[in-house]
Structure 1
Amino acid sequence: MERINYQHLYYFWHVAKLGTISKACEALHLAQPTISGQLAVFEQSVGTQILRKEGRKLVLTDTGRTIFNYAEEIFTLGRELTQTLKGRDTGRGLRFNLGITDALPKLIAYRLLEPLLRQPETVQIHCYEDKTDRLLAEIALHSIDMVLADRPATPASGARVFNHFLGECGVGLFAAPVLAARYRQNFPRCLNGAPFLLPTANTALRRSLNQWFDSQELSPSIQAEVENSALLKTFGAAGVGVFFSPLAVAKEIESQYGVQMIGPAEGVYERFYAITAQRKLQHPSVAAILANAQQRVFEILAISADDVGSGG
């Protein structure tokens, strides 16, 4: 394929967005044989299948998704060029596609992203939350620039990616005020049989917590296992059970969710990683986040954790 036919790409882009050829025909005001024929020619020029039927809809293959992501950029730029030539400022900044794993505390994610919000140049941040494996697949397709995760990617993921250790901080136990008052005396022995909200077994934090329960000889009464960190805290705010969260953002958690800290889980730490594809290492937003984490964020987090621990 020496040269892309952008008219064919444009037809493909519409079909992929709308899911069927008939809907693309309506949007483009073209007959179905025209779209079908041009789509077949485009697929032949690519040299592999780019769309497949799934029920009544057409879905993207892996190659099709890669082409679609580039087409999105190409035609978005085309629209903005048209607007600029008409004298309208699009206000478009640098686009940054970020994946955030379900288990990653969102307050930590916000702190890591803060430098992007303060830069003089506008940055369009597009955040996607999902399971780590799915986000790593998107990195491999170059549709995501970076993933923030609670554990590093392993060779078993199948994606050629690079792990960047951002830092770590201690973990504390939190609960709604009534529960917090009940379980503060004789901590942590009083927690034996207490109602707990725990992250799911596939998270790095859960494995550390299981070891902590064993070391403290505690048998928690598990009320729910929740992968999404924000949803877990919402359950905790409703008084369903005790939950764990980074000590570094204890004040924000208490303020935002109306809960109180019971005490620290000694020896338990959450670790944070940025995962990138090789060709995205020089993305200025990636560089800004890495520098912020290494030079500022986790130094502040460590100080904050010490303050919380000494506050009783």
Structure 2
Amino acid sequence: MAVNFNYKHLHYFWMVAHEGSIAKASEKLHITPQTISGQLSLLEDNIGNRLFTREGRGLRLTETGRLVLSYADEIFDLGRELGDVLRGNPQLGPAEFIVSAASALPKTIVQKIIEPGLQINQDISLTCREGPVESILADLAIHKVDMVLSDTPLTGSLSIKAYNHKLGESSLTFFACKQLAEKYKPNFPHSLNNAPMLVPTSQYAIRRSVDYWLEEQQIFPNIRGQFDDSALMKSFGQAGLGIFFMPTIIAEEVCFNFNVEIVGKVEAIKQTFYAITAERKVKHPAVAAICDTARTLLFA
């Protein structure tokens, strides 16, 4: 019996298989669970076999499901590869290079990381997006972006087939407006106890590292604000709402651009930066230039 695939149904199946449930796939695809469930039933009817069985609250692939998934992985990998080729075809204009950065990453560092990718001997058109880590990694999973920049490495808990490429790391510097800096600079870092502080939200690795270090030092600041966006956090810091921290490698730019002063530096905490791609071995020329320059110059 001939089987005529509806590739939209196959894509829904592929997402459910990688996410582990219809509910999670519906969030990523922005489609109702009922719609996905109905399309899966049509795909199973067309194939003539079940693709999933229930396992607790989740789904487990059947033998047929595993077979179909192996082909679906190849199909959508080829689709992504075709998109890469077309974006890089000079007859179609500049090659599109799409990067998503975690919102909490300092914009200055994002710019410094990405810039070498625009200097290669190829006409590149950059699209730069930002958002929460899980959201932008979901875009990478369905090949909507070429690279994700984050201070949080991809882990197996997200069920996304992608790879971490460590770019480098930097210690932290704490900043504040002149009035606060003069008050809290003496006896740093213990002066941070009860001091007003602005921090990234807890989804970011650097926030968790700072929390752990503060607890080790028995320092308990007064958290006045938590931010997903690093630029907004710096603006509130400039306005005098509290002390904030940034990677030391951009300390001069932060002081100049936001008219703030250094309260102190902490070498014990390192913020690590990653490029995350769908490729284990980097092939995209812009990504290769970014990784090489970051490791040899920016974070050297």
TM-score where L is the length of structure 2: 0.70
Cα deviation, residue 170, structure 1? 0.4
Call closer, same or farther: CA 1:286–1:100 in 2, change over 3 Å. Answer: same
Q: What are the equivalent positions in structure 2 for 1:1-312 lying under 5 Å apart?
A: 45-46=6-7, 48=9, 92-278=93-279, 281-299=282-300
CA displacement 1:119-143 (0-9 Å, x = unmatched):
3432111111011111111111111
- Matches of 1:166 and 1:283, distance apart in 2: 16
Q: Percent identity?
A: 35
The 1:213–1:250 alpha-carbon spacing in structure 2 relative to 1, beyond 3 Å, is same
Task: Quote the residue 1:14 is aligned against.
Answer: none
**Structure 1 length normalisation: TM-score?**
0.68
Shift of 1:265: 2.0
Is the CA contact 2:132–2:228 (under 8 Å) kept in the aligned structure 1? no
How many residue pairs get aligned? The number is: 238
Q: CA RMSD in A?
A: 3.2
Change in Cα spacing, 1:187 to 1:142, as seen in structure 2 (3 Å) is same
Question: In 2, are the aligned partners of 1:96 and 1:124 still within 8 Å (CA)?
Answer: yes
Q: For 2:30 and 2:258, locate their aligned partners in 1 and report how far apart those are by CA, in whole Å.
A: 45
Amino acid at match of 1:235: F
Deviations along 1:180-233, whole A, 9 cap, x unmatched?
111112222222111000111121111111122123221111101112111111
Unaligned ranges ≥5, structure 2: 13-28, 40-71
Aligned position for 2:69? none
8 Å CA contact 2:224, 2:242 repeated in 1 = yes
Distance 1:125 1:280, change over 3 A: farther
In the TM superposition, residue 94 of structure 1 has moved relative to its aligned partner by 1.5
* Structure 1 residue 116: Cα displacement: 2.5
What are the Cα deviations for residues 75-96 of structure 1, in whole angstroms up to 9, with x where unaligned? Answer: x98xx99xx8xxxxx8x32211
User: Conserved in 2, the CA contact under 8 Å of 1:103 and 1:229?
Assistant: yes
CA deviation after TM superposition for structure 1 residue 252, in Å: 0.3
Is the Cα contact below 8 Å between 2:118 and 2:286 reproduced in 1? no
Q: Which runs of 5+ in 1 are unaligned?
A: 1-42, 85-89, 300-312
Cα separation, 2, equivalents of 1:46 and 1:221 = 53
Counterpart of 2:171 in structure 1: which amino acid? Answer: G
- Which of structures 1 and 2 has the bigger CA Rg? 1
* Per-residue deviation, 1:286: 0.9
2 CA distance for matches of 1:95 and 1:241?
40
